[in-house]
Amino acid sequence: MIPEGLQYTKDHEWVRVDGAELVVGITHHAQEALGDLTFVDLPKVGKTVKAHDSLSVVESHKAASDVYAPVAGTVAAANSALATEPERINRDPYGEGWICRLKDWDRNGLKTLLTPAQYTQFLAST
């Protein structure tokens, strides 16, 4: 469940370049560890973040967890469907469960992210 074409963080976020924007979500591993999600605190459009700043919070019956910005940027859009259907992340973390889109993002920041093979290796070592 680690798709190609994405990059990953050690905090279990994924990113996909989509034109001028960067789509951000949490990995299958993260949503599975949290269990059934009950709430997503979406980032505000226009919020500027640095790499590793908290972007969002996802909550389940088990725990609440921050979603961190993989790179610096400005929130261009948030997945408003998650406000009423947080379970979209459980059902499809790499598709309809995306959390936000960043614009004006730091392209050099991508160099610090993990490839699918590196993320797989990281998971195996934890």
CATH number at residue 115: 2.40.50.100
Range of the domain at 32: 7-125
> pTM of this prediction?
0.95
Nearest to 8 by CA among 89, 75, 88, 94: 94
For residue 1, tell me if it sits in a domain: no
> Which tokens is 51 given?
């790499």
> What's the half-sphere exposure (Cβ side, CA atoms, 13 Å) at 73?
28
Give 25's strand partners.
14
Tell me if 66 is assigned to some domain.
yes
pLDDT in tens, the chain (126 residues): 799 999 999 999 999 999 999 999 999 999 999 999 999 999 999 999 999 999 999 999 989 999 999 999 999 999 999 999 999 999 999 999 999 999 999 999 999 999 999 999 999 998
Residue 93 near residue 73, CB atoms below 8 Å: no
Domain count, the chain: 1
What backbone torsions phi and psi does residue 21 show, to the nearest 5 degrees?
A: -110, 160
Residue 2 lies inside a defined structural domain of this protein: no
